[in-house]
Chains A and B, each alone.
Chain A
């Protein structure tokens, strides 16, 4: 799925089209009477398009401008410059109309009714999006099965676990069969099983319904499992936009061999690898050569209890991209 996936080039109209999008914030700082105003640019000159049916992962450190971008794309934040078109509409000006076409989940917020059973919130979406009764019932049955909502449909939302609530929120966002699903950190704080259920479900929604998915996350598992295409935003700029393997290639990070020896010893010395860390009997070797040869040499020379070969994780790749980006810039100080 991930290694040689290619970006689907659907000939249809782009579902998201962003040109030179920018957003400044004015911050007031300092003590009450000597408050100064400062303009900070959260997003600048962002240009990209997303085609129907793509799953695009949006990565970047906290404060990079990801959330501001999502807010502008969904219409709850007005851009300072540039323009955005989503599903053929201008988000900030046509917010409520656009809302019918898209589904949005903010991982740290909920649209469900706290005091009422989950079923009630889900039933409301039928009226909210004017979905015909039968279509709604069918879709609810399908989502209930896929996301395993059955056991807690009648539980008040305030009593749901985080994973259950998130599955409820995703259901609420998808009941009207939107063309575009925007997810802002959907797996934040979830356990492995919940994450995996949600990821499988998203892949299925994308492949069966052609739903375009835009997802921001800090969870690299999300990216590796879901995203064919990755955008990295840092300091409000797009610093990378392309397929995941290309991201890895853009910033080469060596594979790592973790060796557990029978007992603690000095640094292992082999050709084609460099020991970068030693912790008791465990050593980390950065590979620069064919791993099979290095492993053979290490096991020949030392008494090895266990071996693990680690692929460079996307986290390391992305953080090396962050380090390469420009420092914070301000639009101007007053």
Chain B
């Protein structure tokens, strides 16, 4: 456990060395969020209520999505976990020679990265949204804590999915194709590009049950206090996220052991 905390701290510090990139990231996320928000405002100006969402809900979700980009890395069209590149080049050999589980090591490091991303990139971006638009902020400590728990679970799911994408490299030699599909499809089915409420209800309800929605749509609905979540209310949302986190991390553990037993480390 102490080693994981030490790895977490290094993951956090590693990213703090890239200050200019962080500032540029806040700017990019804010501008993109603003454009996305204005498009949605135009849509809601034509039709003020769509499947239970109004303009404020939609704009809030846009900025929740922008805030969670660096937490979940949901828009990655290229490997956003160094593990993928290390499997491709064979550097993974060094990782496997550490006396700790591979997934635990990368999870600790990625949560470090996610924490840095949330505090120094996500929250500033969200604040820009609050200043420029009519955005809902959590009312009270209770809802803030529930939202924070949801963000944490979103980070776990974001990691677990990217860990699985990376592992594909053991069988496919190169996981970049998988990442490209993620970058294309992920943001759409997560409710990041458009709130899932704007989809036809049957499709939207189906997508909300998938892990990708657990990274944007569900946290946004928890923040907004929507009570038609799967399972009803915020606790149902958290339960869905927790379930996916457990399933995906479990799959990661299993596939790691299969990969390291059967697959071949590349490079001499």
Bits for B94-120, please: 1 = Cβ < 8 Å to A, else 0: 101111110000000000000000000
Q: Provide the bound-state CA to CA distance between A156 and B17, in Å.
A: 10
State whether A109 and B94 are in contact (beta carbons under 8 Å apart), knowing that A25-B264, A124-B7 are contacts in the complex: yes
State whether A115 and B14 are in contact (beta carbons under 8 Å apart), knowing that A127-B2, A127-B3 are contacts in the complex: yes
State whether A76 and B99 are in contact (beta carbons under 8 Å apart), knowing that A92-B261, A109-B91, A113-B14 are contacts in the complex: no
Contact B10 A111 (CB under 8 A): no
B130 touches A (CB below 8 Å): no
A78 touches B (CB below 8 Å): yes
A111 contact set on B, CB distance < 8 A: 94, 97-98
A4 contact set on B, CB distance < 8 A: none
Considering only CB atoms, which chain B residue lies closest to A173 in the complex?
A: B97
Contact A128 B98 (CB under 8 A): yes
B264 to chain A, nearest CB (A): 7
Question: Interface size on A (CB < 8 Å)?
Answer: 32
B268 touches A (CB below 8 Å): yes
Interface residues on B, range: 20 to 34
Contact B262 A78 (CB under 8 A): yes
B28 to chain A, nearest CB (A): 21
A333 touches B (CB below 8 Å): no
State whether A77 and B100 are in contact (beta carbons under 8 Å apart), knowing that A106-B93, A113-B14, A124-B10 are contacts in the complex: no
> Contact partner of A96 among B94, B101, B268, CB < 8 A?
B101
CB pairs A–B below 8 angstroms (25 shown): A25-B264, A71-B265, A74-B97, A75-B97, A76-B93, A76-B265, A77-B264, A78-B261, A95-B97, A97-B99, A99-B98, A100-B99, A104-B94, A109-B91, A109-B94, A110-B91, A111-B98, A113-B10, A115-B14, A115-B17, A116-B13, A124-B3, A124-B7, A127-B6, A128-B98
A9 contact set on B, CB distance < 8 A: none
A97 contact set on B, CB distance < 8 A: 99
A67 touches B (CB below 8 Å): yes
Q: Provide the bound-state CA to CA distance between A123 and B265, in Å.
A: 27
Considering only CB atoms, which chain B residue lies closest to A76 in the complex?
A: B96
Total residue contacts A-B, CB cutoff 8 A: 70
Considering only CB atoms, which chain B residue lies closest to A93 in the complex?
A: B261
A62 touches B (CB below 8 Å): yes
A95 to chain B, nearest CB (A): 7
B139 to chain A, nearest CB (A): 39
A156 to chain B, nearest CB (A): 7
B260 contact set on A, CB distance < 8 A: 76, 95
Interface residues in B230-264 by Cβ distance below 8 A to A read 260-262, 264
Interface residues in A223-267 by Cβ distance below 8 A to B read none
Considering only CB atoms, which chain B residue lies closest to A169 in the complex?
A: B94
Contact A129 B13 (CB under 8 A): no
Q: Provide the bound-state CA to CA distance between A156 and B267, in Å.
A: 26
B25 touches A (CB below 8 Å): no
A interface list, Cβ under 8 A from B: 25, 62-63, 67, 71, 74-78, 92, 95-97, 99-100, 104, 106, 108-111, 113, 115-116, 120, 123-124, 127-129, 156
> Contact partner of A104 among B97, B101, B264, CB < 8 A?
B97
Q: Provide the bound-state CA to CA distance between A75 and B18, in Å.
A: 36
Q: Provide the bound-state CA to CA distance between A71 and B265, in Å.
A: 9
B124 touches A (CB below 8 Å): no
B90 touches A (CB below 8 Å): yes
Considering only CB atoms, which chain B residue lies closest to A123 in the complex?
A: B6
Q: Provide the bound-state CA to CA distance between A127 and B91, in Å.
A: 22
Interface residues in B143-172 by Cβ distance below 8 A to A read none
Q: Provide the bound-state CA to CA distance between A140 and B101, in Å.
A: 25
A110 contact set on B, CB distance < 8 A: 91, 94
Considering only CB atoms, which chain A residue lies closest to B2 in the complex?
A: A127
B99 contact set on A, CB distance < 8 A: 96-97, 99-100, 128-129
B17 contact set on A, CB distance < 8 A: 115-116, 156
Q: A67-B268, A120-B10 are in contact. List 17 more A-B contacts (CB 8 A).
A: A71-B265, A75-B97, A76-B260, A76-B265, A96-B98, A100-B99, A104-B94, A104-B97, A109-B90, A109-B93, A110-B91, A110-B94, A111-B97, A116-B14, A116-B17, A124-B3, A127-B3
